[in-house]
Structure 1
Amino acid sequence: MKLPGHDAIARQADEHLVTHRVKLPRKVVDRPIRQVGKRLMMALLVLVATAFIVYFDRDGYTDNSDRSVDLLDSFYYATVTLSTTGYGDITPVSDGARLTNIFVITPLRVIFLIILVGTTLEVLTERTREEWRLNRWRSVLRDHTVVIGFGTKGRSAIQTVCATGLKKEQVVVVDPSSKVIDVATAEGYAGVVGDATRSDVLKRAELQRARQIIIATQRDDTAVLVTLTARQLNRNAKIVAAVREEENAPLLKQSGADAVITSASAAGRLLGLSVLSPAAGMVMEDLIQQGSGLDMVERPVIKAEVGRRPKETDDLVVSVVRGHRVLGYDDPDVGTIQLTDRLITIVRASPGAQVAPDIRPLPRD
């Protein structure tokens, strides 16, 4: 299946990257130019220290050309010695000078060489370490959440999911922009750079082993293609997708999405409600904002509530989830609450507090 705009999206993704990459969160380090500058300064200090050590003990050295060693000769000797060139025109002749070469200048030579090749060693070590981290990350990643698209919708979805206690290590972000992935990794999420309509990109995010998938792309046709690919790779994961136009929602569900959020129509309904009743609009906006004012959550039934009607509970029950059905609080089929039910309630949010693992905030538009 190929929808209009897919080629343009693929070309745009190719402009951002040469190969698909997985980026893991990492600590911020100095820029390469600053690291090289530090190493050069350290090497220069070692060179100057060696030159002055030779100069202060210059009577213990001999120069084949004029038999004396001055400050310039000391720097020359330090340079050829530390670089292991060793022309032999200036040599230590006294016992003190030779002992100084053994116990002082030789260690300085080793330090000097380590500083010079340190950048290369660091690159090799960093590559090995990064490869090890990536392999370990792939081996332990199970039942995670994949978020496709790290725009406003995707970022808000991650924040809501993490409010339930989900660790950031269990979230993988997929986006075609390398800069966007850099932002995601800076916030503590693992990221994959690439076009999410391609199965090889989703496999790099270990989507085939994910528990839930959030699709928050910028275009509806992209969302359809991503949903088809994701469902083909993972038959059991819960897929929630966002679309701009309500007419595309059925297509998303046919493609394999379990739930579809229509952002444009939801925003339009909130605008209309705010016009008709500003107070009602404020209440709805309060419900949408996670962690402040009122929150809508899904929680299990407690034993004290079994046999009661939804109106008789201490919390404000909006709906009852029974099996695969969502029943309104006044639906005659609800009858009394059963122990296997789950309740969708409106509660007072506690700022800064995490939601209990078994209490789930409802998805925001």
Structure 2
Amino acid sequence: MRPGGEGKAMVLFEFALLLQRIRSALTRRRVAILVAMMGVVLVAGTVGMHEAQGLSYFDSFYWTVVTISTIGYGDIVPTTFWARILFFFVVFVGIGTFATALTEIAAYFMEQKLLQMRGLHRARMKQHAIIVGYDESTEELVRQLQDRDLESIVVDKDLDAAALHAKGIAAISGDPQASETLERAGIKTANALVLPSAGDEGAVMVALKAKQLNPGLRIVATCTRREDFDIMRQAHIDVVVPMSRLLGEVLAEAVNESTIVDFLLDVFEKEGGIDLDEVRVDRPTTVGGLALKAGEKPIVVYRHGVPTTDIRPDTPLAPGDLVIAIYAHPTGPQG
């Protein structure tokens, strides 16, 4: 792409989004006006037929609906002068309004579906996770969140939103550093922002923008360069995962034939033999007084972010403490 070409493309993209929002707003207004007109016709037909021909309100409403929908059973017909005048009004105004309203409503929903397929829609999620960036690991992240009953939506430039939609992955196409894109992804109602592949600088920029829009948002990001770790924490990123360092340590342990790697894989793999559980303490108690699952054993207590492994059944716990418990499936070694 020529220098400046990407910037021009983004300007055109944002302009297209603006036109789309204007058209959607006009469509919604037309639908609202048509629905209001339908209400007027239904009320006028119901009350008018009741007064002009002495029918019950239910029969009058039934006649009005049958007439404007062009079904015309013929079981109720206008027989008085004013009832026939009302019939002309309902036919000339009601039928056209009804047909136009159905067309506009169908067009609106089709347009919203097309926008969703292209990733240009506005998300209607709450308490969801926004994932910035898409690569091979994103689909696994989405599946892991689904296993934890968490909705998610992927945000990135030039996404093939239709392909992701076919895989059951919600997606928004746009610049994740732009407020408009984050708002379309539902940033104000989200409870988490995940930055697995945005790059260290990009993650900082997105995090700062996201915190402006939702100060209570929990932000999780990966860090590729060790020197950027502190900078990312200063950017109000709650959890920074140093991927290169973690990967290096795991591979080094694997070279030494350490069972630590097997342990970690057992913890993180769904079919592994070991599970970890996090228990939040909400009242003063002791480790022995925790309501744990059968077979769970507390191994770490976090207080104000500081871990301790020196725990016994009589170790006191305060509200806000976090207890990590371990559980080995019965299929493991016995005795």
TM range (shorter): 0.5 to 0.7
Residue 249 (structure 1) shift: 1.4
- 1:11 corresponding residue in structure 2: 6
Give 3-state SS (helix, strand or coil) of 1:178's partner: coil
- 1:147 corresponding residue in structure 2: 131
Structure 1 Cα separation of the partners of residues 104 and 186 of structure 2? 27
Trace 1:1-365 onto structure 2 (pairs within 5 A). Answer: 11=6, 14=9, 18-19=13-14, 125=106, 127-131=108-112, 140-166=124-150, 170-179=151-160, 181-300=161-280, 306-308=286-288, 314-322=295-303, 324-330=304-310, 335-337=315-317, 341-348=321-328
TM-score by length of 2: 0.58
Change in Cα spacing, 1:132 to 1:275, as seen in structure 2 (3 Å) is closer
Residue 203 (structure 1) shift: 1.2
For 1:269-298, what per-residue CA distance to the aligned partner results, in whole angstroms no more than 9, with x for missing partners?
100111223422222223232453323331
- 2:34 corresponding residue in structure 1: none
Give 3-state SS (helix, strand or coil) of 1:173's partner: strand
Give 3-state SS (helix, strand or coil) of 1:201's partner: helix
Structure 2 Cα separation of the partners of residues 307 and 8 of structure 1? 62
Structure 2 Cα separation of the partners of residues 319 and 278 of structure 1? 22
Unaligned runs of 5+ residues in structure 2 are 18-101, 331-335
Change in Cα spacing, 1:8 to 1:176, as seen in structure 2 (3 Å) is farther
Change in Cα spacing, 1:309 to 1:250, as seen in structure 2 (3 Å) is farther
Give 3-state SS (helix, strand or coil) of 1:208's partner: coil
Structure number with higher relative contact order (C-alpha < 8 Å, ≥ 6 residues apart) = 1
Q: C-alpha root-mean-square deviation of aligned residues, in Å?
A: 4.2
The one-letter code matched in structure 1 to 2:193 is I
For 1:158-177, what per-residue CA distance to the aligned partner results, in whole angstroms no more than 9, with x for missing partners?
332222222xxx32210113
Unaligned runs of 5+ residues in structure 1 are 1-6, 22-120, 351-365
Residue 133 (structure 1) shift: 9.9
Residue 202 (structure 1) shift: 0.8
Structure 2 Cα separation of the partners of residues 288 and 13 of structure 1? 44
Please say if residues 308 and 336 of structure 1, whose CA atoms lie closer than 8 Å, have aligned partners that are also in contact. Answer: no
For 1:234-280, what per-residue CA distance to the aligned partner results, in whole angstroms no more than 9, with x for missing partners?
10011111121222111111111001011111110100111223422
Give 3-state SS (helix, strand or coil) of 1:308's partner: helix
Structure 2 Cα separation of the partners of residues 140 and 273 of structure 1? 44
Please say if residues 148 and 154 of structure 1, whose CA atoms lie closer than 8 Å, have aligned partners that are also in contact. Answer: no
Please say if residues 123 and 184 of structure 2, whose CA atoms lie closer than 8 Å, have aligned partners that are also in contact. Answer: no
Give 3-state SS (helix, strand or coil) of 2:188's partner: helix
Residue 205 (structure 1) shift: 0.5
Please say if residues 153 and 170 of structure 2, whose CA atoms lie closer than 8 Å, have aligned partners that are also in contact. Answer: yes
TM-score by length of 1: 0.53
Change in Cα spacing, 1:9 to 1:225, as seen in structure 2 (3 Å) is farther
Q: Considering only CA atoms, is the larger Rg found in Structure 1 or Structure 2? A: 1
* Percentage of pairs with the same residue: 23
Residue 229 (structure 1) shift: 1.2
Change in Cα spacing, 1:274 to 1:126, as seen in structure 2 (3 Å) is farther
